[in-house]
Amino acid sequence: MNDSTSSPKPAPAFRSIFPIYELLHPRQLTPWVIVSVALGLAAAWVSSMVWGTPLWVSTLIVLVAMVPVGIFKWADDKRRFGLTVMIISIMLIAQGTHTIEHLVQWVEYHILFFTPRQSNGLLSPANSEWVHFIWNWSVLITVTLLVTLGKVRNFWSFLLLGVAIGHTTEHSYALIRFLLVREQLDILCLTNTAQGLPGIIGRDGWLARSTTTEGTFVRDIPWLVNSIRLDVHFWWNAIEMSLSVAAAHFFLRGLNRPAAAGQPPVSAALPAANS
């Protein structure tokens, strides 16, 4: 078979040594991102000044204003790079936004000296056990699909999967504990208490209270048994976000890796992995 009849060799998916930046950049949609943010902030300001809406409403308005341009951006990601890379883009942006929320809560508590009940972040209604439970199961399912079907397989992705399992287990336990004592919380008007009940790790968590860990070295690890819930989940999320970035970086870099002799380039095999 001569070169004229052979199929063209696909171009590398990413040309930058920092492929995550290249992926997350809005490219031709940059002006629309700016317009969306400006319109969202203007609408949020009007809502706050005219109707006196709380901070979480303003935050929600800005996020909703950016949804349309986000949909177009992810559609463009799929067209350029395939389904797997599009899902990575969505996960990084969603988790990045979630990280900002945890960071705001941390600043409110440790820098501004708010009480735990006041340290609600930018979207206070979302600070509930059911929201945490659904969010973390969604993350775990997404990571599992990326590793199994999307073939995002490297040291960091497997480590991320393990941390996602641990984080989701933590929130599942917290939700079960919340449901068991919900009647008493309703009586005390504490059903929607910010930060919720302790989970497995942290002050008054399972590790700190269980007879199974009594007298073991686990009780001598301060972070595991003394941290408040806000700090526990700040670090869960920080670790998860860091591993997401690392796993995505090395996977995306691998798309440009030269193929072994007789094998198709990784970038050419990607669409098959997404089918």
**Per-residue pLDDT at 273 exceeds 50:** no
CA atoms within 13 A on the CB side of 211: 0
Quick: pLDDT tens for 173-203: 999 988 888 777 666 565 555 567 788 999 8
Output the average pLDDT for the chain.
86
Q: What is the 3-state secondary structure (H, E, C) of the chain?
A: CCCCCCCCCCCCCCCCCCHHHHHHCCHHHHHHHHHHHHHHHHHHHHHHHHHCCCHHHHHHHHHHHHHHHHHHHHHHHHHHHCHHHHHHHHHHHHHHHHHHHHHHHHHHHHCCCCCCCCCCCCCHHHCCHHHHHHHHHHHHHHHHHHHHCCCCCCHHHHHHHHHHHHHHHHHHHHHHHHHHCHHHHHHCCCCCCCCCCCCCCCCCCHHHHCCCCCCCHHHHCHHHHHCCHHHHHHHHHHHHHHHHHHHHHHHHHHCCCCCCCCCCCHHHHHHHHHC
Task: Give which of 72, 35, 37 is closest to 58, Cα–Cα.
Answer: 37
**Span 17-22, average pLDDT:** 92
**Per-residue pLDDT at 86 exceeds 80:** yes
Quick: pLDDT tens for 203-225: 889 999 999 999 899 999 988 89
Q: Which residue has the tokens 């940059």?
A: 30
User: What is the C-alpha to C-alpha distance for residues 222 and 238, in angstroms, rounded to an integer?
Assistant: 19
**Per-residue pLDDT at 261 exceeds 50:** no
In terms of residues, how long is the chain? 275
What are the two backbone dihedrals, phi and then psi, of residue 26, each rounded to the nearest 5 degrees? -70, -5
Q: Which residue has the higher pLDDT, 46 or 274?
A: 46
State pTM to two decimals: 0.86
175 in Cβ contact with 133 (< 8 Å) = yes
Share of the chain above pLDDT 70, in %: 84
User: What confidence category does residue 117 fall into, taking pLDDT thresholds of 50, 70 and 90?
Assistant: confident
Q: Which two tokens stand for residue 165?
A: 């399992």
Predicted confidence at residue 271, as pLDDT, reads 46
**Per-residue pLDDT at 260 exceeds 60:** no
Quick: pLDDT tens for 28-46: 999 999 999 999 999 999 9
**Per-residue pLDDT at 269 exceeds 60:** no
132 in Cβ contact with 181 (< 8 Å) = no
User: What is the C-alpha to C-alpha distance for residues 259 and 209, in angstroms, rounded to an integer?
Assistant: 54
Quick: pLDDT tens for 128-180: 889 999 999 999 999 999 999 999 999 999 999 999 999 999 999 999 988 88
End-to-end CA separation in angstroms for the chain: 28
User: What confidence category does residue 12 fall into, taking pLDDT thresholds of 50, 70 and 90?
Assistant: low
Q: Which residue has the higher pLDDT, 119 or 182?
A: 119
**Span 103-118, average pLDDT:** 92
